[in-house]
């Protein structure tokens, strides 16, 4: 089969060994995958895949089931599915653990569905499982126009959580409001603390989802309410900062570090089960949608990475794959 290979810091669409359908796996002919910032970091040599995972880029895909491993039930050859992956999505075929595979929501194309698994799993996991966001509680999402941000806004809207966002452009903030955000702050205008306190009538928000890390730590804690929870899912702003422990104790705040990719198959399966139960019906009723900036052929993955790196996109960049046979 063909897949994207990183060579000399460039992305090349070339022949690679075919994957094998292992016990518990579903083999998928990939029709589309999507770009995540983790792919850019891995391509730069800074984010190796977990042990045992494919070293091919790509943390999600959608396509057609073409083979089913032993002990797998609930799927048939020909099913249209999407999958959460630890790697391997930028390819014509990928073997995915069956527990991480779900049917494409009714009424959606595989191109649309390829933009679901990674960002909706990340947003759901961290807002509703790690932070235990409850109906009516207030949330702050940084990078609101990102894939995870646009997913999180819609989930907060669906589950009755007023949400405030930060983003890097007025146009991005407007898109976030269209998706359901109650308001936003342009990060180029300085600290977001006053804006968040205005949004929350001075009490602070209950949950913050943050891909920035060190650079936002102090302002995040100043923006959290008593008993507030900060979930850090990225290090775009550095990985070391001073923690005001006294303030943390007085306000009974919690700082939670979280990643998705390195979790066990069983853990990822439980997250996908929760999506299937609580989120899939919302897609099928048209209450949620994927936000896709553009789609490009997978052979243009380098161009797609540059678009994401330039930080001008809203939602996801999808890569389409013209499949062959193995």
The CATH number that applies at residue 17 is 3.90.180.10
Burial of 140 (0-12, 13-18, 19+ CB in 10 A): buried
Tell me: do 169 and 237 sit in the same domain.
yes
* pTM for the full predicted model: 0.96
Question: Is residue 277 situated within a structural domain?
Answer: no
Phi, psi of 83 (to 5 degrees): -145, 145
Return the pLDDT at 326: 62
* Per-residue tens of pLDDT for the chain, all 326 residues: 999 999 988 999 999 999 999 999 999 999 999 999 999 999 999 999 999 999 999 999 999 999 999 989 999 999 999 999 999 999 999 999 999 999 999 999 999 999 999 999 999 999 999 999 999 999 999 999 999 999 999 999 999 999 999 999 999 999 999 999 999 999 999 999 999 999 999 999 999 999 999 999 999 999 999 999 999 999 999 899 999 999 899 999 999 999 999 999 999 999 999 999 999 999 999 999 999 999 999 999 999 999 999 999 999 999 999 866 66
Tell me: do 161 and 205 sit in the same domain.
yes
Q: Which domain holds residue 314?
A: 2-116+288-320
Tell me: do 131 and 213 sit in the same domain.
yes
Question: Is residue 60 situated within a structural domain?
Answer: yes
The CATH number that applies at residue 209 is 3.40.50.720
Tell me: do 155 and 186 sit in the same domain.
yes
Closest CA to 82 of 325, 316, 326: 316
Burial of 210 (0-12, 13-18, 19+ CB in 10 A): buried
Tell me: do 214 and 111 sit in the same domain.
no
Q: How far apart are CA 169 and CA 205, in angstroms?
A: 22
Question: Is residue 272 situated within a structural domain?
Answer: no
Question: Is residue 265 situated within a structural domain?
Answer: no
Tell me: do 231 and 308 sit in the same domain.
no
Residue 164 near residue 207, CB atoms below 8 Å = no
Return the pLDDT at 9: 86
Question: Is residue 278 situated within a structural domain?
Answer: no
Tell me: do 159 and 91 sit in the same domain.
no
Q: What is the DSSP code (8-state) at residue 202?
A: T
Tell me: do 170 and 99 sit in the same domain.
no
What angle do the packed helices 147-158 and 170-179 form, to 10 degrees?
A: 30
Closest CA to 69 of 118, 34, 19: 19
Q: Which residues pair with 75 in a beta bridge?
A: none
Return the pLDDT at 147: 98
Tell me: do 128 and 252 sit in the same domain.
yes
Q: Total structural domains in the chain?
A: 2
Return the pLDDT at 325: 62
Tell me: do 74 and 30 sit in the same domain.
yes
Tell me: do 106 and 156 sit in the same domain.
no
Question: Is residue 241 situated within a structural domain?
Answer: yes
Tell me: do 127 and 249 sit in the same domain.
yes
Question: Is residue 18 situated within a structural domain?
Answer: yes
Question: Is residue 208 situated within a structural domain?
Answer: yes
Return the pLDDT at 322: 83
């Amino acid at each position: 089969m063909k897949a994207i290979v990183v060579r000399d810091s460039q992305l090349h669409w070339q022949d690679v060994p075919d994957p094998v359908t292992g016990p518990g796996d579903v083999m998928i002919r990939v029709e589309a995958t999507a770009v995540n910032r983790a792919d850019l970091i891995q391509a730069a040599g800074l984010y190796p895949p977990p042990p045992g995972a494919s070293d091919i880029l790509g943390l999600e895909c959608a396509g057609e089931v073409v083979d089913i491993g032993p002990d797998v039930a609930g799927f048939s050859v020909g099913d249209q599915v999407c999958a959460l992956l630890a790697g391997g999505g930028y390819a014509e075929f990928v073997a995915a653990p069956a527990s991480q595979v779900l049917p494409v929501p009714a009424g959606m194309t595989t191109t649309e569905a390829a933009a679901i698994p990674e960002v909706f799993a990340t947003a759901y996991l961290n807002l509703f499982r790690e932070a235990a966001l409850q109906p009516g509680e207030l949330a702050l999402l940084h990078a609101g126009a990102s894939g995870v941000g646009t997913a999180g806004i819609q989930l907060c809207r669906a589950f009755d959580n007023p949400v405030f966002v930060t983003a890097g452009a007025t146009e991005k903030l407007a898109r976030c409001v269209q998706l359901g955000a109650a308001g936003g702050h342009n990060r180029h205008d300085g600290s977001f603390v006053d804006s968040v306190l205005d949004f929350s009538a001075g009490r602070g928000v209950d949950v913050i989802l943050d891909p920035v890390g060190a650079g936002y730590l102090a302002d995040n804690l100043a923006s959290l309410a008593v008993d507030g929870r900060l979930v850090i899912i990225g290090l775009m702003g550095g990985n070391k900062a001073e923690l005001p422990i006294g303030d943390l104790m007085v306000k009974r705040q919690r700082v939670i570090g979280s990643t998705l990719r390195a979790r066990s198959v069983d853990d990822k399966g439980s997250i996908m089960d929760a999506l299937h139960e609580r989120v899939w019906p919302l897609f099928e009723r048209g209450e949620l949608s994927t936000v896709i900036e553009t789609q490009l052929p997978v052979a243009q993955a380098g161009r797609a990475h540059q678009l994401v790196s330039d930080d001008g996109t809203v939602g996801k960049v999808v890569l389409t794959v013209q499949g062959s046979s193995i």
